[in-house]
Structure 1
Amino acid sequence: MGIFFRLLLLFSIPALSDDFYRFIWDGRLLINGLNPYTILPSEFIKDIDYQRIIGDKNIFQYLNSPNYYTVYPPFNQFTFAVAAWFSSGSLFGNVIGLRVFILLAEIGTLMCMSKKNTEASVMLYAFNPLIILELTGNLHFEAVVILFLFLAYKVHKKTLLLSAFFFACAVSTKMLPLIIIPLIIKHLGIKKGVIYASIVSIFTLLFFAPFIDKMLVEKLFSSVNLYFQKFEFNASIYYLVREIGFQIYGYNIIGTAGKVLAFLTFSGICLISWKNKNLFVGALGILTLYFAMATTVHPWYASTLVAVTIFTRFRYPIFWSYLIFLSYAAYQTSLYQENLWLVFLEYSLVFSIMIYEFSRWSTEDSR
């Protein structure tokens, strides 16, 4: 039934996100022999071959970051290119091609979950509206990341090499999994963990190898840096810090606050990794800390938390997966405007449930 609900969306065009236009853009550049990491959309439209390569000239007007270089890692780019190649220039066909990858990943994830959890736990993921709508519906590749992370965990006791390969595939789809590397090193032991991390690094570099350009690192990380220091949406702790900044300095302190919160997040990740004995609970804690400190938290970001929490007894990410839809209130009008009261409602409820669960389980574990 979980797969059936996802198949209902097979022929739909995403309605709650426009990220897929950049997926299509990057894929069409790649199948024409162009490196998407070194081409700025706002500059490329001036090229004489622009329409021949991109096809539909209207795609550019739907790009949400035309003045930024792409931030999507190599495995993502591979899926974009395959979908673009099979679609033969059709926007609709391109969307279906991208969705096939996500559907296959979701089927794999449900199979992995069903072998390790009770039926009730799997249903929390299989029928979750956020998971279905944001991953399959809106074409977010967290679905692929989740599958690769589960595969990496599934085989890590048998072969570290294959596990590291799957983990590198996850990193090469979205870079988020890098934040749990310290936890993995602690879980495996320092020696084995460092070897594992090194193998992951080698595989990741091999994925990037076809795109190597002298300006690649500068352009890729300039976009990532701008993302953390310029963009803000549906944040929690950052919004409180920002408000304090307005009261004290009279302007938005995102440039400074972003760096300070990043440092605190890194420190917290190291502490959680060192103190935690359970891999899934540790990963849940690290992801929770990361999103709590982030300046931008789109609804689909919560999908990784939902997937991980299925393997624990914590359920606050499930509540968040319903409450996070409140963030879409910002798009009720053409003029983007967040309702901070709704943001406050969202996070006050989530943090209340989270604090209750952590206090409850920690008390029981201490008995």
Structure 2
Amino acid sequence: MLVKILSYYRLHKIPILLLVASLLFYYTFAYYLDRTDFPKLITLAAALFFLCYKLIQFEKWNFKLLLTAGILFRFVFLFVTPMLSQDFHRFIWDGELVLQGINPYLQTPNTIIEEGTILIENAAQMYASMGEISAKNFSNYPPLNQLLFALAALFSGKSAIGGIVTMRLIIILADIGIVYFGRKLLLKLNLSSHLIFWYFLNPLVIIELTGNLHFEGVMLFFFIWSMYLISLKKYILAAPILAFSIAVKLVPLIFLPLFLRHLGFKKAIQFYTIIGITILALLLPFYSSEFINNYATTIGLWFSNFEFNASIYNIIKKIAEFNGNKNWETIRAFGKISPYITITVVLLFSFLKSNKTVTSLFTSMLWVLTIYYFISTTVHPWYIISLVILSLFTRFRYAILWSAAVFLSYWAYSNPDFTEHLGILTIEYTLILGYILYEILRLNKQKLLFSKNKTVN
């Protein structure tokens, strides 16, 4: 046994050293990083991305080693309180309400604390820690996400760390599921199966999902599972799975019109009907006359009240400031326009692109979501994770660069008033836009050369 271990070490010495170095950096990130220490944060992130690149470069066909590495990196965070996000307090809060049979969409934490009629374990601590914005608004998390929060609350043992560990295990299992179905889908599309590790070993994915407890990974697990079933032409089975994805995070809703030309009108209607029925069934336990208004109001706030790491919006805001407009006027005006721009973009990609193949469908999804983020007023780092997984099934790789560059946005946390540095955001978006342009030109050149060779032959 020892001989085998030593032999394996000699064969994989450098990758094992890279793995150990990554573990040390993740440990430092998890236990010894204050989010206000931007130089340390960005240095750790840069080092982890370099190590991720080298690990995949050396061992891209060593499935067991890379899978083990990704699991080990995630388990570093298992018992630590998230450092870069306070959202988990609201997750546990909502879960406690669901466990008590109370609808989390009907009362804000502010109201519950003021009235004092509902008993929640460690209520004062969670309320103080979740942040003012979360405390004064209704829950905006879809129904399946609420059930996962309730599961975390059930197994929490009445302690915050119990809920944190439960949510982490759910997220880790979802990521392993993404590797399973993602590799199958890549092989089905005649793509290199090792590409899935650009998701599984990506430091943004590990830090923001397992570390900071965002549920994009659970959403993407159901989404990739559904897309795999679609690649097998099992549309009826794929529909409820896609509905589960939407019921964790609403992001996949934006992709639904793209399936119309892929499936054809008749199959698409069946597909949409099953999705609609599944979502309604999941919503039914939470439905009340006030639910729709409360939920719509909360979702509307993301378009008209919040801003973080925006690109086009920041340019418009600066122009508006030069003309004497106030920030709140600009964001509200932009918030009213941006949903219509998004709808227009989705319709253009739905009806002007064929979307016949699964690869072309993924490409349309990638561009739709990219454009949506470019016109959004709020682009949190974990939003980019959806672009990363989509890009793996296309010929574009700019999302991987963006997943590294987006760490620059955390400069805002290095000052007490969370003011953003437009110079730093300019660097982030210049890198991304420059690489997008490079990839478009490169792919167009390849198509042109292919066409010439085909004509000659």
Alignment TM-score, normalising by the size of structure 2: 0.78
1:170 counterpart SS class: helix
Note the C-alpha offset of 1:158: 4.3
Between stretches 180-189 and 17-26, larger displacement belongs to: 180-189
Note the C-alpha offset of 1:333: 2.2
Q: What does residue 63 of structure 2 align with?
A: none
Cα distance in structure 1, aligned partners of 2:319 and 2:338? 14
Please tell me whether residue 142 in structure 1 is matched to residue 142 in structure 2: no
Note the C-alpha offset of 1:133: 0.5
Q: What does residue 49 of structure 2 align with?
A: none
Q: What does residue 331 of structure 2 align with?
A: 254
CA deviations 1:245-293 (Å, max 9, x no partner) are 2222421211111222221121111112223330111111111011111
Cα distance in structure 2, aligned partners of 1:5 and 1:55? 30
After superposition, where does 1:266-285 map in structure 2 within 5 Å?
266-276=343-353, 277=355, 278-285=360-367
From 123, 126, 130, the counterpart of 1:59: 126
Between stretches 319-328 and 265-274, larger displacement belongs to: 265-274
Cα distance in structure 2, aligned partners of 1:173 and 1:122? 22
Cα distance in structure 1, aligned partners of 2:311 and 2:116? 45
Please tell me whether residue 125 in structure 1 is matched to residue 199 in structure 2: yes
CA deviations 1:81-108 (Å, max 9, x no partner) are 0110111311000101111110110000
From 149, 171, 178, the counterpart of 1:80: 149
Q: Name the % identity.
A: 38
Q: What does residue 103 of structure 1 align with?
A: 172
Cα distance in structure 2, aligned partners of 1:333 and 1:245? 25
Note the C-alpha offset of 1:243: 1.6
Note the C-alpha offset of 1:171: 0.5
Note the aligned Cα RMSD (angstroms). 1.4
After superposition, where does 1:318-357 map in structure 2 within 5 Å?
318-357=400-439
After superposition, where does 1:172-187 map in structure 2 within 5 Å?
172-187=247-262
CA deviations 1:196-252 (Å, max 9, x no partner) are 112111111111000011000000010110121000000011111122222224212
Task: State the structure with more CA Rg.
Answer: 2
Please tell me whether residue 70 in structure 1 is matched to residue 152 in structure 2: no
Cα distance in structure 2, aligned partners of 1:28 and 1:334? 31
CA contact (8 A) 2:223 2:241 kept: yes
After superposition, where does 1:164-313 map in structure 2 within 5 Å?
164-252=239-327, 253-276=330-353, 277=355, 278-313=360-395
Q: Aligned in 2, Cα 1:244/1:169: closer, same or farther, shift over 3 Å?
A: same
Cα distance in structure 2, aligned partners of 1:175 and 1:68? 18
Q: Residue type of the partner of 2:98?
A: L
CA contact (8 A) 1:29 1:54 kept: no
Q: What does residue 64 of structure 2 align with?
A: none
Q: Residue type of the partner of 1:342?
A: I
Q: Residue type of the partner of 1:22?
A: R
Note the C-alpha offset of 1:49: 3.9
CA deviations 1:26-57 (Å, max 9, x no partner) are 0011111110000111111023344x324342
Q: Residue type of the partner of 1:258?
A: G
Cα distance in structure 1, aligned partners of 2:427 and 2:171? 31
Between stretches 10-19 and 171-180, larger displacement belongs to: 10-19
Please tell me whether residue 26 in structure 1 is matched to residue 103 in structure 2: no
Q: What does residue 161 of structure 2 align with?
A: 92
CA contact (8 A) 1:305 1:317 kept: yes
Q: What does residue 39 of structure 1 align with?
A: 107
Q: What does residue 53 of structure 2 align with?
A: none
Cα distance in structure 2, aligned partners of 1:180 and 1:192? 16
Stretches of structure 2 lacking an aligned partner (at least 5 in a row): 1-68, 452-457
Note the C-alpha offset of 1:119: 4.5
Note the C-alpha offset of 1:160: 2.0
Cα distance in structure 2, aligned partners of 1:89 and 1:243? 48
Stretches of structure 1 lacking an aligned partner (at least 5 in a row): none
CA contact (8 A) 2:183 2:194 kept: no
CA contact (8 A) 2:138 2:298 kept: yes
Note the C-alpha offset of 1:162: 1.8
